[in-house]
Amino acid sequence: MTKKPRIGIALSGGAARCIAHLGVLEVLEKEGIVIDSIAGTSGGAFVGALYASGLGVDKIKEIALQLSWRAMVKPVFSKQGLISGKNLHRYISKYIGALHFKDLQIPLAVVAADLKSGDKVVLTEGLVSEAVTASCSLPVIFSPAHGVGKILVDGGIASNLPVLTLVENMGATLTIAVDVNDRARELSNLNNLFQIGIHTVTLFAKKNAAVEKRFADIVINVDASGISLIDLKKGPLILKRGRAAAEKQIPFLKKCLKEFSYF
């Protein structure tokens, strides 16, 4: 008998575009495909943490469509960033609470980057909110987080689409990569530190995501054309794009799963 695969899903970073992950998860649930592990970076880590905690997709959609940059990036200046990481952590904790990784219903790996070395740091222990805060800490904009003896910043710098983390750290035998930045037009104007910070991470993220995408069994590319990284108001459209991208890949995904006698 063919051994049932351990399905892992990698959720890319992409700020507001990460709302599309919910459209993808919604389609997978509808098709009866159960996720065994999750690896997420930045906004993908936030969505992944909420889903791994046991919240249903409908509830997470409610949260996503109410997200506010004004509340999230309320200026509280620090020496290491325009905005204190404490405010970001407080905002993330509002939704994730005091959950530890061991409390999650689905195994989760959160990816951050070591500011000194640029290396990927995989977080699977401790408070989930602290790990997600580290993964979302955009350099220059948010002050970096401190953990595991390192200075941690946005994981997009090292691994924006953490496919290899699923295999190396989570034991996945069939990997689904969800890239919410396909066909995206990046910033052409770099007029302030916020734009510079986003552009810097985007440059690294685009390159490392292209590399890791090659290792995925199934790739779901979400069309991000016309959607900027800060377009939270386009939530319904982003959800629709996520659903469409997932539905397009369902036939191939089912074909892969049938080889494992999944259905």
* Percent above pLDDT 90 for the chain: 71
Least confident of 16-30, 66-80, 111-125: 66-80
Q: How far apart are CA 36 and CA 208, in angstroms?
A: 24
The pairing of beta strand 108-114 with beta strand 120-123: antiparallel
The answer on pLDDT for 148 being more than 90 is no
Q: How far apart are CA 42 and CA 219, in angstroms?
A: 19
Q: How far apart are CA 42 and CA 48, in angstroms?
A: 10
Q: How far is CA 205 from CA 8, 12, 40, 201, 212, in A?
A: 20, 9, 13, 6, 11
42 is catalytic: yes
For the chain, how long is the longest CA-to-CA vector?
Answer: 60
| Mean predicted lDDT score pLDDT of the chain | 90
pLDDT tens readout for residues 179-217: 999 988 876 677 777 777 778 888 899 999 999 999 999
> Are 142 and 72 a contacting pair, CB within 8 Å?
no
For each of the domains in the chain, give its residue range(s) and CATH number, in order of start.
7-253 (3.40.1090.10)
First to last CA, the chain: 13
Least confident of 1-10, 44-53, 173-182, 210-219: 1-10
Give me the catalytic one of 114, 135, 137, 154.
154
Beta-carbon neighbour count of residue 222 at 10 Å?
28
Residue 45 binned pLDDT confidence (cut-offs 50, 70, 90): very high
Per-residue pLDDT at 263: 66
Instruction: Mention every residue, 6+ apart, whose C-beta is less than 8 A from residue 250.
Output: 27, 31
Query: Helix count (H) and strand count (E) of the chain?
Result: 9, 8
Q: How far is CA 57 from CA 102, 106, 228, in A?
A: 21, 14, 23
217 is catalytic: no
The answer on pLDDT for 262 being more than 90 is no
Give me the catalytic one of 42, 129, 143, 159.
42
Per-residue pLDDT at 82: 58
Per-residue pLDDT at 78: 54
